[in-house]
């Protein structure tokens, strides 16, 4: 049956047209129900995380968790208020976020050791977003902070439900280093006004803040400067006395005592004011104004990404020490739920903290219950000591933040990245500069975009390398100083075969073809190809087709199961041929004994590449012109395959002589060619007429070129060589004849 007949009969094998929509609808409904069921099971698994935590809790961990919780609470108290200060929020908002966010993230998250709460970077992003929609100190500003936390939480839960926890692997650590360094500079500059009590408000741009600070410097409040400078000094000195002492907490207590004794609050010193006692109250959320929400969405998306990347970076670094197995999707869900609950209970956006998580781990915390105890201790402190916060001076908080901002500029890590590769260096530098000159959400997105582009560039250019046997023939290795086999190329693909990489892979293999035009056969080693898509399948088929068009073929070894299954399901496996997938140990002997041309190995190839070449007789001396032949081989005239085809079908066709071995001639030859093996020819050159044009043909051109040089030396003037031999003829898809065995 012809192809056209098959195409005409194809509809008869399908279902009637009237039945197909119903079947498609039923299949779509089944897929929808299956996806819905899987989603509900995933949601149930995420929600039941606390039950698993309590069910497996060991009472032996209770005491270490309580001690670690108390240690974390001592550090969290001043930091939560200070970070709220960065976002221009009341200090109690930071404490509410620390209490609620820490508890929820610990119960529904994955990591036992990260500590969630307000952070420097999230607070700075919150400030950048809120200044665009409301003024600090207004009810709208507080409502926007709560609403933003809820939006961030919804985005993070959606990412977790969609099983996109793997996305954080595509974002370089250089983004975090660059962004936090830039954020440290911004926070430090922005806190100068509070350190000096300058008559100016927060500004969204560093280019507005610096000139305003310079213009208002004459209005510096000296008492505030003294308190702020004293705070910075104490924060530097206390760790030198003992690293176990809570420097920020002691500093705030000390400066509060100074303010109370000398009555500095009555002399113009700005103080926190008395904190409200009690549990975190419910937030007063704004009406669902689309314009109001739209103003928060872009920054919320950027904040969601940076918070998750920061959280997972901390979780991975600690789990590397503890050996805990992390579930990034569960952590996404836990962080998202923590932000939603924080927004509902008068808090703002939270994420994992670098410093507090490290303190929690060093304090001996064994489970996430340590964070629950930390939240209880912070709540007790808020209830018992709220009135004393009335004397905590804002310049002291500014001093704490300036020193913390300085620590965000991780000079050691910056130097390491700078000395690493060009991609990481560029990502860090561009993200850091963008943080200073652009809106923060765009800086984050730019850094994330650069990470993804760098990843795509890296994966789209996998290594495609030619390999040769080692000296002991036990393994294959790149050996650029050694010549390749004349007939067979061995190439490794080190990377995945997906749509972004196939062009590079095809180009590299084409370059190898051009560099080794006589190699008609290719052995592809694919042990590093873990994943393949339909573009990769098309690329493999294109490579096979290219070699077959040249009269050769492609063989495969080390094809991974998932790649082989895709080739089978798409029909590519049948196109290549089952016998072209070889056992790695038997591939070379199979090709050497059954596929490669031994005549080329003996008469044309001076190399001994494989183990099986070592004892093979080499008769290259028979393919050398006699001593009296002075004609350089590169001056022997050649004829292109297409020109020979035209000449053979013209009025005065040349005499074509095939000088290959009988086995080669029988496999494929030019229909008009006379067979005269090379050794027979050079024994008696007079067998070739001097009066007619002659074209000599061999497999690749070596034997025919030597024979032509001899004929020209003895006086045969009109002798040419088929350029590229039979390899070139076949590559032009010109007609060949096959001699059947009798």
CB burial readout 345-382, b (16+ within 10 A) else e: bbbbbbbbbbbbbbbbbebebbbbbbbbbbbbbbbebb
Name the one residue in this structure whose structure tokens are 């072209």: 580
Residue 27 counted as domain residue: no
Q: If pLDDT is split at 50, 70 and 90, which confidence band does 322 have? A: confident
CA distance 721 to 640: 9
CA distance 395 to 403: 12
563 alpha carbon, distance to own chain's centre: 21
Average pLDDT of the chain to the nearest whole number: 85
CA-CA-CA-CA torsion sign (136, 137, 140, 142): positive
* Among 434, 455, 476, residue at a domain's last position: 455
Indicate the range of 463-467, 485-489, 606-610 predicted with least confidence: 606-610
| Total domains in the fold of the chain | 3
CA distance 724 to 641: 8
Q: If pLDDT is split at 50, 70 and 90, which confidence band does 621 have? A: low
Which is higher by pLDDT, 2 or 429?
429
Q: If pLDDT is split at 50, 70 and 90, which confidence band does 37 have? A: low
Do 639 and 655 form a contact (C-beta atoms < 8 A)? no
Residue 147 counted as domain residue: yes
CA distance 23 to 21: 5
Give pLDDT tens digits for 152-178: 999 999 988 887 766 776 778 888 889
pLDDT at 563: 94
Name the one residue in this structure whose structure tokens are 């500095």: 264
Residue 619 counted as domain residue: no
Which is higher by pLDDT, 633 or 740?
633
pLDDT at 22: 52
Do 490 and 467 form a contact (C-beta atoms < 8 A)? yes
Tokens of 236: 């530097």
* Among 611, 640, 671, residue at a domain's last position: 611
Q: How many helices (H) and strands (E) does the chain have?
A: 30, 13
Residue 336 counted as domain residue: yes
Which is higher by pLDDT, 264 or 291?
264
Tokens of 605: 């190839």
Do 498 and 458 form a contact (C-beta atoms < 8 A)? no
CA distance 455 to 607: 40
pLDDT at 38: 64
Judgement on whether residues 655 and 601 belong to the same structural domain of the protein: no
Do 498 and 529 form a contact (C-beta atoms < 8 A)? no
Give pLDDT tens digits for 538-583: 999 999 999 988 778 999 999 999 999 999 999 999 999 999 999 9
CA atoms within 13 A on the CB side of 130: 29
Kindly state the percentage of the chain with pLDDT values over 70.
91
Indicate the range of 149-153, 163-167, 709-713 predicted with least confidence: 163-167
Judgement on whether residues 499 and 576 belong to the same structural domain of the protein: yes
Do 539 and 505 form a contact (C-beta atoms < 8 A)? yes
Instruction: Look at residues 696, 701, 694 and name the one whose alpha carbon lies nearest to residue 725.
Output: 701
Judgement on whether residues 382 and 323 belong to the same structural domain of the protein: yes
Do 189 and 417 form a contact (C-beta atoms < 8 A)? no
pLDDT at 33: 59
Residue 536 counted as domain residue: yes
* Whole-number Cα distances in Å, 363 to 110, 113, 629: 19, 10, 89
Do 491 and 464 form a contact (C-beta atoms < 8 A)? yes
* Among 455, 474, 499, residue at a domain's last position: 455
Residue 624 counted as domain residue: no
Tokens of 304: 């969601």
Give pLDDT tens digits for 197-248: 998 877 767 888 889 999 999 989 999 999 999 999 999 999 899 887 888 8
Beta bridge partners of 722: 639
pLDDT at 16: 37
Do 46 and 333 form a contact (C-beta atoms < 8 A)? yes
CA distance 318 to 321: 5
CA distance 247 to 77: 12
Q: What is the dihedral of CA 477, 482, 486, 489, to 10 degrees?
A: 20
CA distance 579 to 30: 39
The pTM score is: 0.64
Residue 735 DSSP SS3: coil
Residue 41 counted as domain residue: no
Residue 478: φ, ψ to 5°: -65, 130
Q: If pLDDT is split at 50, 70 and 90, which confidence band does 36 have? A: low
Residue 620 counted as domain residue: no
Angle, helices 328-344/91-108, rounded to nearest 10 degrees: 150
Which is higher by pLDDT, 320 or 547?
547
* Whole-number Cα distances in Å, 734 to 125, 640, 698, 702: 68, 12, 16, 21
Do 141 and 388 form a contact (C-beta atoms < 8 A)? no
CA distance 365 to 64: 6
Is pLDDT at 310 greater than 80 in this prediction? yes
Judgement on whether residues 270 and 328 belong to the same structural domain of the protein: yes
CATH for 496: 3.30.750.24
- Mean of the pLDDT values across residues 480-507? 90
Judgement on whether residues 552 and 670 belong to the same structural domain of the protein: no
Is pLDDT at 707 greater than 80 in this prediction? yes
pLDDT at 259: 92
Do 382 and 376 form a contact (C-beta atoms < 8 A)? no
Residue 219 DSSP SS3: helix
CATH for 688: 3.40.250.10
Is pLDDT at 632 greater than 80 in this prediction? no
Judgement on whether residues 650 and 598 belong to the same structural domain of the protein: no
Judgement on whether residues 144 and 189 belong to the same structural domain of the protein: yes
Q: Which domain holds residue 682?
A: 632-731
Q: At CA 357, angle to CA 355 and CA 359, rounded to 5?
A: 70
The residues annotated as belonging to the active site are 698
> At a CB cut-off of 8 Å and minimum separation 6, what does 364 contact?
64, 67, 68
Give pLDDT tens digits for 45-73: 788 889 988 888 898 999 999 999 999 99
pLDDT at 288: 67
Q: Which of 435-444, 507-516, 677-686 has the highest mean pLDDT?
A: 507-516
Is pLDDT at 27 greater than 70 in this prediction? no
CA distance 609 to 487: 11
Judgement on whether residues 699 and 601 belong to the same structural domain of the protein: no
For the chain, how far is it from start to end, CA to CA, in angstroms?
30
Residue 199 DSSP SS3: coil
pLDDT at 538: 94
Is pLDDT at 593 greater than 80 in this prediction? yes
- Mean of the pLDDT values across residues 642-668? 89
Give pLDDT tens digits for 85-135: 889 999 999 999 999 999 999 999 999 999 999 998 899 889 988 988 888
Is pLDDT at 19 greater than 50 in this prediction? no
Q: If pLDDT is split at 50, 70 and 90, which confidence band does 142 have? A: very high
Which is higher by pLDDT, 641 or 420?
641
Instruction: Look at residues 280, 409, 418, 420 and name the one whose alpha carbon lies nearest to residue 354.
Output: 409
Element of type H or E holding 586 = none
Judgement on whether residues 414 and 279 belong to the same structural domain of the protein: yes
Judgement on whether residues 548 and 681 belong to the same structural domain of the protein: no
Q: Which of 341-345, 457-461, 717-721 has the highest mean pLDDT?
A: 341-345
Q: For the chain, what is the largest distance between any 2 Cα atoms, rounded to a whole number of angstroms? A: 123
Judgement on whether residues 309 and 389 belong to the same structural domain of the protein: yes
Residue 463 DSSP SS3: strand
Q: If pLDDT is split at 50, 70 and 90, which confidence band does 295 have? A: confident
Judgement on whether residues 157 and 237 belong to the same structural domain of the protein: yes
């Amino acid at each position: 049956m012809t192809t056209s007949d098959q195409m005409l009969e194809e509809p008869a094998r399908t279902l009637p047209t009237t039945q197909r929509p119903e079947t498609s609808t039923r299949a779509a409904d089944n897929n929808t129900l299956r996806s819905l069921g899987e989603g509900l099971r995933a949601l149930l698994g995420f929600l039941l995380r606390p039950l698993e935590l309590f069910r497996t809790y060991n009472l032996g961990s209770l005491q270490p968790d309580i001690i670690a919780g108390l240690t974390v609470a001592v550090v969290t108290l001043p930091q939560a208020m200070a970070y709220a200060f960065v976002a221009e929020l009341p200090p109690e908002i930071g404490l509410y976020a620390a209490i609620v966010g820490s508890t929820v993230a610990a119960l529904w998250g994955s990591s036992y050791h990260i500590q969630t709460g307000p952070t420097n970077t999230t607070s700075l992003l919150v400030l950048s977003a809120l200044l665009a929609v409301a003024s600090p100190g207004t009810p709208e500003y507080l409502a926007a902070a709560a609403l933003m936390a809820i939006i961030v939480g919804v985005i993070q839960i959606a990412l977790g439900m969609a099983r996109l926890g793997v996305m954080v692997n595509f974002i370089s650590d250089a983004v975090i280093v660059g962004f936090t360094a830039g954020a440290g500079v911004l926070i430090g500059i922005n806190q100068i006004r509070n350190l000096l009590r300058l008559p100016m408000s927060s500004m969204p741009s560093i280019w507005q803040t610096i000139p305003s600070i310079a213009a208002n410097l004459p209005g510096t409040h000296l008492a505030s400067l003294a308190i702020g400078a004293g705070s910075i000094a104490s924060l530097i000195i206390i760790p030198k006395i003992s690293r176990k002492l809570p420097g920020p907490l002691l500093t705030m207590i000390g400066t509060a005592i100074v303010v109370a004794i000398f009555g500095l609050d009555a002399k113009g010193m700005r103080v926190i004011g008395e904190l409200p006692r009690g549990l975190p109250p419910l937030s007063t959320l704004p009406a669902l104004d689309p314009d109001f929400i739209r103003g928060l969405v872009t920054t919320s998306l950027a904040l969601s990404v940076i918070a998750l990347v920061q959280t997972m970076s901390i979780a991975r670094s600690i789990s590397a020490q503890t050996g805990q197995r992390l579930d990034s999707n569960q952590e996404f869900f836990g962080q998202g739920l923590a932000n939603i609950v924080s927004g509902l209970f008068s808090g703002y956006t939270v994420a994992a903290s670098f410093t507090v998580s490290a303190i929690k781990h060093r304090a001996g915390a064994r489970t996430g219950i340590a964070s629950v105890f930390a939240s209880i201790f912070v709540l007790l402190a808020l209830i018992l000591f709220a009135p004393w916060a009335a004397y905590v001076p804002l310049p002291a908080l500014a001093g704490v933040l300036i020193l913390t901002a300085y620590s965000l500029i991780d000079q050691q890590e910056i130097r390491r990245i700078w000395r690493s590769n060009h991609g990481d260096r560029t990502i860090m530098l561009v993200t850091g500069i963008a943080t200073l000159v652009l809106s923060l959400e765009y800086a984050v997105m730019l850094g994330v975009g650069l990470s993804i582009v760098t990843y795509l560039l890296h994966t789209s250019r996998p290594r495609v390398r030619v390999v040769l046997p080692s000296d002991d023939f036990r393994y294959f290795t790149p050996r650029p100083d050694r010549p390749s086999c004349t007939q067979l190329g061995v190439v490794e693909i080190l990377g995945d075969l997906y749509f972004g990489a196939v062009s590079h892979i095809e180009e590299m293999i084409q370059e190898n073809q051009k560099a080794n035009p006589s190699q008609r056969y290719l052995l592809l080693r694919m042990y590093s190809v873990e994943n393949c898509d339909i573009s990769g399948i098309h690329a493999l088929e294109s490579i096979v087709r290219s070699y077959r068009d040249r009269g050769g073929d492609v063989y495969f070894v080390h094809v991974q199961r998932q790649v082989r299954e895709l080739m089978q399901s798409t029909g590519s496996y049948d196109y290549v041929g089952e016998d072209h997938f070889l056992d790695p140990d038997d591939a070379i002997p199979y090709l050497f004994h059954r596929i490669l041309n031994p005549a080329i190995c003996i008469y044309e190839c001076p190399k001994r590449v494989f183990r099986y070449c070592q004892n093979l007789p080499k008769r290259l001396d028979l393919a050398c012109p006699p001593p009296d032949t002075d004609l350089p081989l590169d001056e022997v005239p050649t004829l292109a395959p297409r020109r020979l085809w035209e000449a053979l079908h013209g009025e005065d066709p040349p005499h074509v002589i095939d000088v290959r071995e009988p086995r080669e001639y029988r496999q494929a030859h030019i229909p008009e060619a006379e067979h005269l093996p090379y050794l027979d020819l050079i024994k008696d050159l007079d067998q070739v007429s001097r009066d007619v044009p002659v074209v000599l043909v061999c497999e690749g051109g070596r034997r025919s070129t030597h024979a032509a040089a001899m004929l020209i030396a003895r006086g045969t003037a009109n002798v040419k060589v088929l350029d590229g031999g039979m390899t070139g003829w076949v590559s032009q898809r010109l007609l060949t004849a096959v001699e059947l065995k009798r």
